[in-house]
Structure 1
């Protein structure tokens, strides 16, 4: 969207520089990313950034003004965790980069979550791109690595000793986001612990490090709670639904409360109209909507072309939404003259005494497929995968 920087990047790009970015990330983390990195960042205008922020601020304000108890209805009975909090510690919002009926490029809300994203990785990735392409430094996020460390330390570690704070995941070594866990450990000095390794004594939780039993006082939670039921023969000492003496960062209930469950309640020009499946109006055309399960992760279960036969067959219609389709616009030109589409995720933290969350950084996702998920792309495609956005005047 900013031809000056797009032309400069495409002129400077070489496969060797792409390899250099990955080599530097390996050097900084000790492992290779297990998800695909796009060869290119996104270049977006300050005008587009203002639209993103206008939509996000409106969404946050609408959520804050919901009637008390509304969000609690989103939590499945079998997934309720004790000791909930007044607000989440993390807040992320995904927007598609779309073209409207007047031909203008605008953001359209895709989904939102109160769940941590790649906070540690994205900053390292942005810095690494700037090392390999020095001209990007002029566009760099004002938030420094030290700023990020300060914010995340205050939020995740608080007043505790870092050894009493863990990043919790199920089989972390198998997760695509492992590189973010490793960089979080380096940034904050905390350990990543598998849920299967957590020990429980009374209301206290412990993990072992070098033969030493250490109490867990704060949990930086990366476990998708309802995914645990899908793992066969899972042997755990600790059940999320138990009342234990730990501080959740962020509390597991917020994964459900800030989710697609909210979409039918939100109104803004950059928020596509959504309905719960059981409330879908008879005068709307199903062809204009995408079918989404409420609590799927990473795009699983999404149907881009639902039919009446498909929707009629769904028994738990209250656990699905229909969201009006948007037109992702392929505007990010690669070195072959082909174009990619993209989404951008805004990454916020929400400190406990703050009325509003703080925007920390962003994450871009690029594709040439129907869905913004690299699994749907051709294997030889370029300008696809995880990325980051730089904003500048046009």
Structure 2
């Protein structure tokens, strides 16, 4: 990444500074982080930032097309369709692998996208933690559009809470206290004052939803900040519930569940850009590509990297019973472009661009970013066990 500031950071790094960062991350939201925090942020040079912003614009141009809802209607499994769909998602995430272009320069390549929330509060704390404990360039920022910390939190409050009282807004999850990303739930609660609630605790009376607070009061639910992933929910037949999310109620979705499917791997074949690897629905290919070794097989309805086949064979394709539920995406090679120390082994990264989209906004607004640093074959916890200078990070972008 940015060679000058990277060298300066590495030269000034000490284990004591890193431990101070971890102390902040493990105490600020009331519980330790359950995943690995990387030793360093990523300094993104201006030329790469400009490419990423162009890539974001290319994708947004498709998502804002008047016919996008028609194009994405088959993305939602019929048994998971939820009523009262919003005109567009409240939250958007674009994940880019950082690769090498034909001319040798760094370039982003879209790996996945989601019409779903991400770690908006955790990432902000992480950026503040790096800023507090390390000497970072003042004019490099993790937020976009010229907003400062206060404006960022105000935007999130506007999108999630709106005009409701915080106690009438819930963050909805399945057993939130057991989720690996729960640190972000506690951050959301700290800054917004909402109620973090398991679906099993949601009560229903006709079209009204409510919960019972710690004092035994019946508290109406007006808005639901949805963090439930149906892939997990479908595996939880044991979870008691008075409301199954598919019946019409008077509470408003903050991040409607249908957009989790509409903007997902299902969207990739619709995107044509130098920053999007060629992608096809498996069902629309008359025959497999001749260079199958250069393609990745991905199931549409499995998440967190589950079911992805990197080394695809013709036999794999022939045994698939429902090819309409799979895509083939051209492989990209992440570049190990991040210098690290202890040990001195370069790392690769994936950058998530995090957006918000209010109903009266013409298009989504980019606000923050998330970075995962890896030294393994792929980006993910199981590929980086026992490694250092990997894990959760954030980008500071050159102006």
**TM bucket, shorter chain:** over 0.9
Q: Which residue of 1 aligns with 2:153?
A: 149
Q: Which residue of 1 aligns with 2:334?
A: 328
Q: Which residue of 2 aligns with 1:175?
A: 179
C-alpha distance in 2 between matches for 1:50 and 1:100 = 14
Q: What is the DSSP-based 3-state SS (H/G/I as helix, E as strand, rest coil) of the residue aligned with 2:234?
A: helix
Counterpart contact for 1:280–1:322, Cα < 8 Å: no
Counterpart contact for 1:130–1:137, Cα < 8 Å: no
Gap runs ≥5 in structure 2 = none
Deviation at 1:270, TM superposition (A): 0.7
Q: Which residue of 1 aligns with 2:88?
A: 87
Divergent runs of 4+, >6 A:
none
Matches within 5 A, 1:105-254: 105-141=106-142, 142-210=146-214, 211-254=216-259
Deviation at 1:59, TM superposition (A): 0.8
| CA pair 143-127 structure 1, distance change in 2 beyond 3 A | farther
Report how many aligned residue pairs link the two structures: 392
Q: Which residue of 2 aligns with 1:310?
A: 316
Matched, 1:280 2:285: yes
Q: What is the DSSP-based 3-state SS (H/G/I as helix, E as strand, rest coil) of the residue aligned with 2:9?
A: helix
C-alpha distance in 2 between matches for 1:194 and 1:80 = 20
Matched, 1:385 2:391: yes
C-alpha distance in 2 between matches for 1:181 and 1:162 = 14
Counterpart contact for 2:356–2:364, Cα < 8 Å: yes
Q: Deviations over 1:291-315 (max 9, x none)?
A: 1111222111111111111111111
C-alpha distance in 1 between matches for 2:274 and 2:302 = 25
Q: Which residue of 2 aligns with 1:14?
A: 14
Q: Which residue of 1 aligns with 2:302?
A: 296
RMSD: 1.3
C-alpha distance in 1 between matches for 2:20 and 2:128 = 13
Q: Which residue of 2 aligns with 1:337?
A: 344
C-alpha distance in 1 between matches for 2:347 and 2:285 = 32
C-alpha distance in 2 between matches for 1:250 and 1:120 = 16
C-alpha distance in 2 between matches for 1:53 and 1:352 = 22
Q: What is the DSSP-based 3-state SS (H/G/I as helix, E as strand, rest coil) of the residue aligned with 1:331?
A: coil
Q: What is the DSSP-based 3-state SS (H/G/I as helix, E as strand, rest coil) of the residue aligned with 1:356?
A: coil
Q: Which residue of 1 aligns with 2:262?
A: 257
Counterpart contact for 1:288–1:324, Cα < 8 Å: yes
C-alpha distance in 2 between matches for 1:27 and 1:140 = 24
C-alpha distance in 2 between matches for 1:300 and 1:133 = 36
Which stretch has the larger CA shift, 83-92 or 136-145? 136-145
C-alpha distance in 1 between matches for 2:286 and 2:58 = 25
Q: What is the DSSP-based 3-state SS (H/G/I as helix, E as strand, rest coil) of the residue aligned with 1:29?
A: coil
Q: What is the DSSP-based 3-state SS (H/G/I as helix, E as strand, rest coil) of the residue aligned with 2:204?
A: strand
Q: What is the DSSP-based 3-state SS (H/G/I as helix, E as strand, rest coil) of the residue aligned with 1:243?
A: coil
Deviation at 1:140, TM superposition (A): 2.7
Counterpart contact for 2:231–2:302, Cα < 8 Å: no
C-alpha distance in 1 between matches for 2:384 and 2:26 = 24
Q: Deviations over 1:35-58 (max 9, x none)?
A: 111111111111111101111111
Q: What is the DSSP-based 3-state SS (H/G/I as helix, E as strand, rest coil) of the residue aligned with 1:333?
A: coil
C-alpha distance in 1 between matches for 2:286 and 2:98 = 27
Matched, 1:270 2:270: no
Gap runs ≥5 in structure 1 = none
C-alpha distance in 2 between matches for 1:385 and 1:234 = 32
Q: Which residue of 2 aligns with 1:374?
A: 381
Q: What is the DSSP-based 3-state SS (H/G/I as helix, E as strand, rest coil) of the residue aligned with 1:88?
A: coil
Matched, 1:360 2:379: no
Which stretch has the larger CA shift, 34-43 or 64-73? 64-73
| CA pair 252-65 structure 1, distance change in 2 beyond 3 A | same
Q: Deviations over 1:148-189 (max 9, x none)?
A: 221011111111111100101100011111110001001111
Q: Which residue of 2 aligns with 1:78?
A: 79
Deviation at 1:91, TM superposition (A): 0.7
Counterpart contact for 1:97–1:106, Cα < 8 Å: yes
Deviation at 1:337, TM superposition (A): 2.4
C-alpha distance in 2 between matches for 1:257 and 1:124 = 30
